[in-house]
């Protein structure tokens, strides 16, 4: 049997990275993970090992450290790279724009430098539906133009995609996956998201409220032009996000062309409102949730969900989990963090 390729995963101790490493190991890939651990913890790396029963190399490296990256590439022959390492908070990016451009754009540039020097050509990039802003039509497909970014975070993802398009013309092969709203946790309850401080994102806020860490969830606005007045999003189980990376690696491996930049929406194609999600959480977990309706959150897009046709057709990917399962797994992980049964 042909030996599976060696994949470098940057930010592999983070939320989506860790779930992807599980999928890669289960698919038989050799995996090397690097992470600065600035926004994660070693217990996630241990969780990956417990779930898979497989070994992989882990190095505490900051992607901005060009000399450490060079040594890493010198010591390993990677076949492909999945680049998760970045900061991801919209609010924080508004307060600290330079920090976001430095880390999100800078880490990609350092990585690309090493890839060019050591002739590693396949890259999967973590992009975001935020590149679309409020699209003119939904479900949004990949041909929709980028709108003016709502935040430095969004702008950093747009910039990274522009850089990658240019790099594709000089021989880097890129699949840019535009994630919609990843939620949930591994069904084992051994890995999940570790939000820092007060969560901005809806589902960690929901589970923390249910666990009593927060007193009440505020639903930001019920006067939007949507069926129940709350915003509409495309929530997708993190394991389904993770599995798409394995399809994307395979897709690049099988390509004949030497120069490729392809963007793929990574969403379910189903629009779900914030209030629907709240009701589904109560129904799926049997836990009551204290919530109120509050004012709109500045910068929020009214409704966005994916047209996932391209990723389904080209990569042969299909989501496995529904919203109820995603919320159950998110709740299971939240309880694990607090030692609740």
Can you give the binding site for ligand WQD, defined by CB under 6 A?
A: 88, 90, 128, 130, 181, 200-202, 205, 217-220, 231, 233, 274, 297, 300
Q: Which residues inside 183-212 make contact with ligand NAD, applying CB under 6 A?
A: none
Site membership for ligand NAD, residue 39 (CB under 6 A): yes
Site membership for ligand NAD, residue 13 (CB under 6 A): yes
Beta carbons of 284 and 59 less than 8 angstroms apart: no
**Residue 297: burial class (beta carbons within 10 Å; 0-12, 13-18, 19+):** middle
Token pair 């983070």: residue: 14
Residue 233 contact partner, candidates ligand NAD, ligand WQD, none, CB within 5 to 8 A by sort of partner: ligand WQD
Residue 226 contact partner, candidates ligand NAD, ligand WQD, none, CB within 5 to 8 A by sort of partner: none
C-alpha R_g of the chain: 19
CB-based contacts of 22, cutoff 8 Å, min separation 6: 48, 51, 52, 186, 191, 242
Minimum distance between the CB of residue 28 and ligand WQD, rounded to whole angstroms?
A: 29
Q: Which residues inside 162-181 make contact with ligand NAD, applying CB under 6 A?
A: 179
Of the candidate residues 32, 80, 93, 126, the single one contacting ligand NAD (CB under 6 A): 126
Nearest to 300 by CA among 238, 243, 218, 245: 218
Nearest to 82 by CA among 3, 166, 10: 10
> What is the number of alpha carbons within 13 Å of residue 35 lying toward its C-beta?
24
> Could you tell me how far CA 319 lies from the centroid of its own chain?
15
Residue 325 contact partner, candidates ligand NAD, ligand WQD, none, CB within 5 to 8 A by sort of partner: none
User: Is 153 known to be catalytic?
Assistant: yes
Site membership for ligand NAD, residue 36 (CB under 6 A): yes
Residue 45 contact partner, candidates ligand WQD, ligand NAD, none, CB within 5 to 8 A by sort of partner: none
Token pair 């975070």: residue: 153
For ligand NAD, which is the closer residue by CB, 84 or 224? 84
Buried b (16+ CB within 10 A) or exposed e, 185-209: bbebbbbbbbbeeebeebbbbbbbb
Site membership for ligand NAD, residue 23 (CB under 6 A): no
- From the CB of residue 136, how many other CB atoms can be counted at a distance below 10 Å? 10
Residue 135 contact partner, candidates ligand WQD, ligand NAD, none, CB within 5 to 8 A by sort of partner: none
Site membership for ligand NAD, residue 268 (CB under 6 A): no
Minimum distance between the CB of residue 3 and ligand NAD, rounded to whole angstroms?
A: 27
Q: Which stretch binds ligand NAD (CB under 6 A): 50-58, 79-87, 137-145, 205-213?
A: 79-87
Q: Which of 153, 224, 305, 321 is catalytic?
A: 153
Beta carbons of 307 and 218 less than 8 angstroms apart: no
Residues serving a catalytic function are: 153
Residues that bind ligand NAD (CB under 6 A): 10-11, 13-17, 35-40, 62-64, 84-86, 88, 103, 107, 126, 128, 179, 182
């Amino acid at each position: 049997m042909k030996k599976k390729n060696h994949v470098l995963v940057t930010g592999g101790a983070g939320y989506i990275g860790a779930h992807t490493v599980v999928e890669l190991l289960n698919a038989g890939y050799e995996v090397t993970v690097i992470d600065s651990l600035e926004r994660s913890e070693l217990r996630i790396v241990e969780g990956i090992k417990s779930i898979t029963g497989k070994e992989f190399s882990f190095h505490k490296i900051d992607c901005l450290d060009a000399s450490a990256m060079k040594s890493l590439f010198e010591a390993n022959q990677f076949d492909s790279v999945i680049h998760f390492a970045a900061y991801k908070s919209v609010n924080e990016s508004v307060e600290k724009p330079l920090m976001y451009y430095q880390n999100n754009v800078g880490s990609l540039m350092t990585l690309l430098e090493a890839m060019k020097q050591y002739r590693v050509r396949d890259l999967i990039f973590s992009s975001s539906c935020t590149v679309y802003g409020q699209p003119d039509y939904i479900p949004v497909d990949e041909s929709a133009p980028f709108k003016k970014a709502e935040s430095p975070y969004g702008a950093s993802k747009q910039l990274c995609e522009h850089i990658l398009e240019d790099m594709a013309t000089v021989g880097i092969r890129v699949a840019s996956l535009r994630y919609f709203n990843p939620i949930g946790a591994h069904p084992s309850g051994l890995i999940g998201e570790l939000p820092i401080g007060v969560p901005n994102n809806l589902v960690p806020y929901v589970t923390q409220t249910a666990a009593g860490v927060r007193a009440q969830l505020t639903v930001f606005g019920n006067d939007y032009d949507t069926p129940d007045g709350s915003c509409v999003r495309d929530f997708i189980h993190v394991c389904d996000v993770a599995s798409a990376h394995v399809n994307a690696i395979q897709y690049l491996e099988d390509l004949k062309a030497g120069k490729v930049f392809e963007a793929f929406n990574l969403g379910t194609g189903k629009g779900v409102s914030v209030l629907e999600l709240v009701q589904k959480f109560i129904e799926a977990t049997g836990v009551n949730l204290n919530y109120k309706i509050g004012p709109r959150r500045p910068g929020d897009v009214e409704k966005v969900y994916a047209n996932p046709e391209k990723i389904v057709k080209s990569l042969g990917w299909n989501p496995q989990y529904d919203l109820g399962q995603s919320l159950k797994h998110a709740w299971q992980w939240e309880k694990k963090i607090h030692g609740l049964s």
